[in-house]
Amino acid sequence: MKDFWLGLSVLSLGLGLGSWLDVTPWGLVTAVVSLLVIYVFQIDRVTRTGRRLQTQKSGHSGWVVPLAKKIQDLRFGLEEEISELRDSESKSREQSRSRRAALEGAVAEFRSLIDTFPDGLMIIDENEHVLQWNPVAGKAFGLSPALDKKKPVRQIIRAPEFDALLDHSGSEPIEFWSSMPVPRFFSARVFALQNLRKLVQFQDITRLRQLEEVRQDFVANASHELRTPLTVVHGYLETLIDHAPDETKSELRHIFGQMHAQTTRIKRIVEDMLVLSRLDKESEPLEEQLNIREALERSREEGEMLSGGKRHRITLDIAVDSVLRANREEFDSVISNLISNAVRYTPNGGAIDISWWVSSEGGYLSVKDTGIGIDRQHIDRLTERFYRVDVARSRELGGTGLGLSIVKHALSRMDGELNVTSRLGEGSRFVCRFPVNRLN
Ligand code: ADP
């Protein structure tokens, strides 16, 4: 509007002046030219102002724009990474959730397995402190989580046998009495776990033990009760045979003879059963220092007496004189059973060699014969009670079927072991090993 009024005024002024001077066209032309000049100036000013502003603006854009661009790029990049991270985070969260669920499932399964396990289980750490136990173990030893967690296991179970099991971590189970909270008899084993931890497995065998005691008592009592009447009958039979009038029929004599032989056999069985009962019952036999040479000389003489008319050649070879810590009766029953077997199962005139030697592994007692031998399939079972390769032959020769089980039992009480090698028809060898710590 301002420019319009300016233009109108300049044109009117040009027209007025032209008509007054009487040169109207020139006045109009001058006014138009003047207006043009004014407009050109105005355009020039506007253009310069615009350029200045442009210059000012482009002066900032030298670092602001790239920076802004970079920031924007960075932001976009970051947003992208954040969204990727979010994606992978949610993915890994899902993965770890499912892994955790699987682990929790496995742990719950393991827990329920342990909880329902019929044996007692206890986990102890490297310092033998109790970490966990299942309900069976908790009940057996009266454990409470508040009082007994992290408690030394030896304070919970006070038994020297259990201490030895922890010290040696053997795979063989041990048996022990635990008096707390009530007296119970346990069998225990230890298994090594990761991180030096150990798993202790317990079995309450109190009932089994009681039954075993009842059985042992029964055998011991029955043998005792049988022994006296048997001795009486046996003695009377001997008297009858010795003092039978001459006119007694030979048939009757034969019957007396048979009765005497049978009572002799029963007497032997009863005696062997009493020996086994004693070995079962007596927990700590009286031990002494036995002179091996003397003991074996005596046994050899007994063997010769036993052999009698069968004329076996019995030799004794002692490589080194030794003294053995053992119960005399038990040691004698080992050697006499081996020699009497050798005499019994070796044909007339055969050889029986008794020998003793010592090595770094211990002392060895061997009884070797040139008898009937034993088939391989029977060897592992020879020490079972009443196990005989040939029942009729054993009976005929006066065997009881208990000799080798007495040998094995007596040896185990001396921490020894029996080894049998034999060849059918060629002979047998029975070797007893006694541990080094029993030798002097
Ligand atoms: P038994 O009283 O019958 O001899 P043992 O327990 O002493 O019982 O021996 C078990 C079985 O082992 C015997 O019946 C016999 O078959 C076999 N046996 C033991 N010693 C010998 C041996 N020296 N030679 C051959 N067989 C033997």
What are the boundaries of each domain within the chain? 2-82, 117-204, 212-281, 288-438
The residue among 420 and 38 whose pLDDT is bigger is 420
**pLDDT attached to residue 422:** 97
434 forms bridges with which residues in the sheet? 363
* Nearest alpha carbon, ligand 1 atom 19: 341
For the segment 424-438, the average pLDDT, to the nearest whole number, is 96
Angular region, 189: left φ>0, alpha ψ -120 to 50, beta rest? beta
| pLDDT tens string 47-90 | 676 566 555 554 444 555 666 677 778 778 878 888 888 888 88
The residue among 35 and 311 whose pLDDT is bigger is 311
CA distance 320 to 267: 38
What DSSP assignment string belongs to 269-318?
HHHHHHHHHHHHH-SS---EEEEHHHHHHHHHHHHHHHHGGG--EEEEEE
Kindly calculate the radius of gyration of the chain based on its CA atoms and give it in whole angstroms. Answer: 56
* Nearest alpha carbon, ligand 1 atom 18: 341
Task: Report the separation in Å between the CA atom of 428 and the middle of ligand 1, taken as the mean of its atom positions.
Answer: 10
Is the omega angle on the peptide bond into residue 181 within 30 degrees of 0, that is, cis? yes
**pLDDT attached to residue 183:** 86
Ligand 1 pocket, mutate which of 345, 352, 370, 424 (most atoms under 8 A from CB): 345
Q: Contact at 8 Å (CB) between 322 and 281?
A: no
Q: What is the CATH number of domain 117-204?
A: 3.30.450.20
Task: Report the separation in Å between the CA atom of 269 and the middle of ligand 1, taken as the mean of its atom positions.
Answer: 14
The residue among 111 and 303 whose pLDDT is bigger is 303
Alpha helix positions (H), 62-117? 64-116
Ligand 1 pocket, mutate which of 338, 388, 391 (most atoms under 8 A from CB): 388
Q: Is the domain 212-281 a CATH 1.10.287.130 member?
A: yes
Tell me the whole-structure pTM to 2 decimals. Answer: 0.67
Q: Contact at 8 Å (CB) between 185 and 205?
A: yes
pLDDT band (50, 70, 90) for residue 247? confident
> Ligand 1 — pocket residues by CB below 6 A?
337, 341-342, 345, 369, 371-372, 374, 382, 387-390, 394, 399-405, 428
pLDDT at 401 over 90: yes
How confident is the prediction for the chain on average, in pLDDT? 88
The residue type of 413 is R
Q: Contact at 8 Å (CB) between 373 and 389?
A: no
The residue among 50 and 298 whose pLDDT is bigger is 298
Strands 313-318 and 351-359, sheet pairing: parallel
CA distance 143 to 137: 8
**Which range is least confidently modeled, 53-62, 178-187, 206-215, 411-420?**
53-62
pLDDT at 149 over 90: no
Q: Contact at 8 Å (CB) between 237 and 259?
A: yes
Kindly give the number of the ligand 1 atom that is closest to the alpha carbon of 391: 14
pLDDT at 333 over 60: yes
The residue among 196 and 270 whose pLDDT is bigger is 270
What DSSP assignment string belongs to 149-163?
TT-BHHHHS--HHHH
For the segment 425-438, the average pLDDT, to the nearest whole number, is 97
pLDDT band (50, 70, 90) for residue 264? very high
For the segment 353-380, the average pLDDT, to the nearest whole number, is 97
pLDDT at 126 over 60: yes
Q: Which residue is listed with tokens 């009024």?
A: 5
**pLDDT attached to residue 389:** 94
Q: Contact at 8 Å (CB) between 344 and 399?
A: yes
**pLDDT attached to residue 61:** 47
Superfamily in which the 288-438 domain is placed by CATH: Histidine kinase-like ATPase, C-terminal domain (3.30.565.10)
DSSP element (H, E) containing 189: strand 184-192
* Nearest alpha carbon, ligand 1 atom 23: 342
Ligand 1 pocket, mutate which of 264, 334, 383, 394 (most atoms under 8 A from CB): 394
Kindly give the number of the ligand 1 atom that is closest to the alpha carbon of 390: 16
CA distance 186 to 206: 7
